[in-house]
Chain A
Amino acid sequence: MDMTPFVDVAFLILTFFIMATKFKPEEPVEIKTPNSVSTKELPESDALQVTFDSTGRVFFSVLSEKDPMVKYNVIKHMNDTRSLGLTEAEMRNFVKAPAIGVPFSGLKSLLAVPAEEHKNYKQPGIPLDTLGGELFYWIRDAVGTFTGKQLKYLIKGDNEAKYPAFKQVLNAFKKNEIFKFQMITALEDAPAGSELEIIRKREKAGGH
């Protein structure tokens, strides 16, 4: 039997997957995001991301795909303002770490662990209260190092997370005078016959 066409197709598929694959950044918790009809794309750089999982644990991360120095500046600034007593190596480790979910008191011991092993490290989440808790300081200090840049604020929550967890995250942002957020969701189509679908169709027709 001649298997050549079969093998050809197989390699075509292989090529497609290699091209289309984008490795998702590793995260310490698995989050199932809700769906929305929103089509706005996710920014990769110059963004602060707050993640909360189904049990209400909160994680903080700085997205800076282009420039790792940005992350380093954030932790250096944090180290100075909050006197965390981190060593140079620990600050370098922060740059590689995907997301941080420990109180300030536990940050040093978390960063003593190599970033690759963080997903096995039990992180209790950043402490929050109605005034924003420690997340308030994370946001404030991170924003402080980003002067002159348009920062975006991402919120990624789990489907099963309760509303109060979300509200506390919002409060931490609001205390920092930040009122515009982007919530990370998975794309779904506008329901058939809805007003949104009609508007989108009209826009499409008008664009051509």
Chain B
Amino acid sequence: MASIEGGDGGGGHKKGPGVKKAKKLSTHLDMTPMVDLGFLLITFFIFTTTMSSPTTMELYMPKDTDKDDEQNKAKESGALTIMLSKDNHVYYYEGQLKEDASNFLSTNFAGIRKVIIDKKKAVIEAHQHDAGCEKIWAKNGGDKKSCLDKDLVVVIKPGELATYKNTVDILDEMTITNIKRYAMVDLFEAEKILINKTEGN
């Protein structure tokens, strides 16, 4: 194939005794080491590269306030409280927690989305025409429909045993279900006791 033709062994035409044949060098190189190195580099880059670029999720916390009149008031009909506990357990109740805890329900991260969506639907259905709110939205060039769920407030209460992943997941759930008003606060004593009772400690 790529052999260097040497001497006059070949069957070409004969040249005179004084004519030296120009030495033809092969153009074929052994590329194996280069290819080896190439693959080594590929392997290196595959291992070191980070494909999924990190993103950031925004979180706005309110300023802590003790003054009663500065606290945001939530309508009972539109409130949904979600509590996070150990082993990805999620508890929730609508409105106020009843004395007998009959509205204290348990679910998990797969089920909580439906709870939020159902609550949102219920709030939108119960919505009464609010001219004041619609005026504000119309003035700012927004969608009047944003008034429909203005009473909906989700209160997120991560417990001591909830993980950071749980917290981020539930905040993410707010983005997914497009909840505009939500707050992250601490558990009440009564809720802590209920969770402990449910989990059997």
Chain A interface (Cβ within 8 Å of chain B)?
3, 7, 10-11, 13-14, 17-18, 20-24, 33-43, 52, 154-155, 157-167, 170, 173-174, 177, 179-187, 190-191, 194-196, 199
Contact = CB atoms under 8 A, between A and B. Distances in A.
Contacts of A170: 61
B158 A163 contact: yes
A21 B47 CA distance: 10
Interface in B93-116: 113
16 contacts: A10-B35, A10-B38, A17-B42, A21-B49, A22-B50, A22-B53, A35-B168, A40-B56, A42-B53, A42-B55, A43-B56, A161-B163, A162-B161, A180-B59, A185-B56, A186-B52
Interface in B8-52: 31, 35, 38-39, 41-42, 45-46, 48-52
Contact of B163 (A11, A18, A160, A199): A160
Contacts of A186: 52, 54-55
Given A17-B45, A181-B61, A36 B178 contact: no
Nearest to A171: B64
Interface residues of B, number: 46
Contacts of B73: none
A196 B42 contact: no
Given A13-B42, A199-B178, A159 B53 contact: no
Given A17-B45, A40-B57, A174-B63, A158 B164 contact: yes
Nearest to A160: B163
B56 A196 contact: no
A167 B166 CA distance: 13
Given A38-B175, A40-B56, A183 B168 contact: yes
B45 to A, nearest CB: 3
